[in-house]
Amino acid sequence: MYDVAIIGAGIIGVSVARALSRYELSIAVFEKENDVSMGATKANSAIVHGGFAESHAKVKGGLCFKGRKQFDQLDKELNFGYEKIGSLVLAFEEEQLETLKNLYENGLANGVDDLEIIDHDQIMAMEPNVNPDVKYALHCKGAGVCSPFEMAIALAENAVANGVELFLNTEIKAIKQSNVGFELVDTNDQIHKAKYVINAGGLQSAVISAMVGADYFQITPRTGEYMVMVRGSGSIINKVLFQMPTKLGKGILVTPTYHGNLLIGPDAVNQDTDDKSTHAERLLKIFNEAKHTTSKLNIKQFIRSFTGVRSISSTDDFIIEATGVKGFINCAGIQSPGLTSSPAIADMVLDILKNEGCFMVENPSFNPYRAPVITRTELKPMKEIQPLIDMESNPQKIICRCEQITEGTIIDAMNRGIPVTTIDGVKRRTRSGAGWCQGTFCRPRVAAVMEKELGYEIDPSFDIEHSGVNRVGKNEIVDYILKHEHE
């Protein structure tokens, strides 16, 4: 019997698992997909938010800044990629100044201590490429960017290294209560016993909660589409640039990513399914709205579109609480700023577990450190790396020429305690296939390395053909936007 079972291996589930691995507890994490970070964690804005946008009256308002303050230390320990670059909420109309002041006051109520409202000249000094019609902005010095799926992978790897058991491809279909805890039944009819259960099931969290009779909220999928530009394109701006927030979210943002791409989006559409396909019409609207922030966008630098799906609870807030069922704890409705809040959510869950009677003794052998898989480096000229591309199998052999990822890096990423069985799993860990050609060159080469490590054949097209996701391709969206952007 496990002391704690966690359902879901997104950023919340693995944050809780890693926090619990500090203690002498037996912990299991159950994930229905073939890898960690397969839901909203791998498809979001990658922003470490300031903490001023969420109402002070809500749970998420109290957690965002608390989570943000932990990112420096977490990155020092886990090396997932995080940088403080600051953010600006831009106001283009005089009457929007009042909204900025309200955001500022709300931020103060949430404990945020690095906010200021700045004027046109100050903005232009920080961001020479921003729309010169801007009048005011709310500047948050400590906001930043990170690599969210690398963060989740790092947390999971460290948790596993500290004794947590991770079950991939394992969906929980029923939960039965017993006199000593719970019996979790998976789709293979295997039974896993646990004293306490943490529900971090994302879009399925309401369904999971209902399995124990805690049927008191609903989850609605809200999709948001994004556009990613080529590495290096992020240099046109320096900070995370927000437009004024709306009822559905923080509006269209323009931001550099941690690895130097430019990211724009998302829109926000409530729907009945979690379809992650992208659509030319929605992307056109996003691109045109983003041009209001800066005119320096170049659609010919586009390399990829993707859709994130947020879990919107019927309470319009995070649901982090002990339920009426003793030992069953919900972590549901974790939409933005869930990534930023995740360290604080984990702290909150540990406090709830203690209140529920879970006895925690610190593990003296806990190791908080995890070495990086990749680090940010400047790309070398193609003529310089060509011999490394052409060489025979060798740790120094370059497998992905766009991102200059070596065979040794891929092998390292595959041997860190979590089974990596797909090319996209390698991509999330190493950036192989994340460059200009989007894997056209390296997918079969990555598959060849994986086959040697795993001992069986890898289909290079598996992730694309079996995902069920239809993404608008590079040429299609470039042609579509060039044709329609001025309509």
CA atoms of 149 and 155, how far apart (whole Å): 10
Residue type for position 210: A
Name the strand (E) or helix (H) holding 287.
Answer: helix 280-290
pLDDT over threshold 70, residue 6: yes
Q: For residues 45-72, give the mean pLDDT.
A: 97
* Tokens 């009042």 belong to residue: 98
Q: Which two tokens stand for residue 421?
A: 């069985």
Q: What is the CATH number of domain 1-85+143-218+314-372?
A: 3.50.50.60
Q: Which two tokens stand for residue 163?
A: 């004794």
CA atoms of 429 and 413, how far apart (whole Å): 6
What is the chain's alpha carbon radius of gyration, rounded to the nearest angstrom?
Answer: 22
DSSP of 448-472, one letter per residue?
A: HHHHHHHSS---TTHHHHTS---PP
The pLDDT tens digits for 234-253 are 999 999 999 987 665 567 99
Share of the chain above pLDDT 70, in %: 98
What's the pLDDT at 466?
Answer: 62
Q: Is 5 helix (H, G, I), strand (E, B) or coil?
A: strand
CA atoms of 36 and 40, how far apart (whole Å): 11
b/e map 469-480, b = 16+ CB within 10 Å? eebbebeebeeb
Q: Give how far the C-alpha of residue 118 lies from the chain's centroid of Cα atoms, to the nearest Å.
A: 30
Q: Is the sign of the CA dihedral 272, 274, 280, 282 positive or negative? A: positive
Question: With bands split at pLDDT 50, 70 and 90, how would you rate the model's confidence at 314?
Answer: very high
pTM of the model: 0.96
CA atoms of 202 and 196, how far apart (whole Å): 18
Alpha helices per DSSP H over 356-460 = 382-390, 407-413, 423-430, 443-454
- Which is higher by pLDDT, 459 or 23? 23
Q: Which two tokens stand for residue 319?
A: 């649901």
Q: For residues 128-155, give the mean pLDDT.
A: 98
Q: For residues 154-175, give the mean pLDDT.
A: 98
pLDDT over threshold 90, residue 148: yes
What's the pLDDT at 465?
Answer: 52
Q: Spell out the domain ranges in the chain.
A: 1-85+143-218+314-372, 87-141, 382-456
* Tokens 């948790």 belong to residue: 159
Share of the chain above pLDDT 90, in %: 91
List Cα–Cα distances, 221 to 68, 103, 201, in angstroms: 25, 26, 13
CA atoms of 311 and 89, how far apart (whole Å): 24
47 and 231 Cβ atoms separated by less than 8 Å: no
pLDDT over threshold 70, residue 184: yes
Question: With bands split at pLDDT 50, 70 and 90, how would you rate the model's confidence at 274?
Answer: confident
Q: Is 10 helix (H, G, I), strand (E, B) or coil?
A: coil
Is residue 49 annotated as part of the catalytic site, yes or no? yes
Choose the catalytic residue: 49, 139, 259, 279.
Answer: 49
DSSP 230: P
- Classify strands 144-146 and 47-48 as parallel, antiparallel or unpaired: antiparallel
Q: What is the overall mean pLDDT for the chain?
A: 95
CA atoms of 118 and 329, how far apart (whole Å): 43
DSSP of 272-321, one letter per residue?
A: SS------HHHHHHHHHHHTTT-TT--GGGEEEEEEEEEEEETTSS-EEE
Q: For residues 23-49, give the mean pLDDT.
A: 97
Q: At what angle are helices 280-290 and 474-484 packed, to 10 degrees? A: 60
Question: With bands split at pLDDT 50, 70 and 90, how would you rate the model's confidence at 487?
Answer: low
**Conformational region of residue 334, where left means phi above 0, alpha means psi within -120 to 50, and beta covers everything else:** beta
pLDDT over threshold 80, residue 464: no
The pLDDT tens digits for 219-230 are 999 999 999 999
Which of 16-25, 273-282, 362-371, 440-449 is the least confident region? Answer: 273-282
What's the pLDDT at 372?
Answer: 97
Phi, psi of 398 (to 5 degrees): -85, 120
- Which is higher by pLDDT, 461 or 188? 188
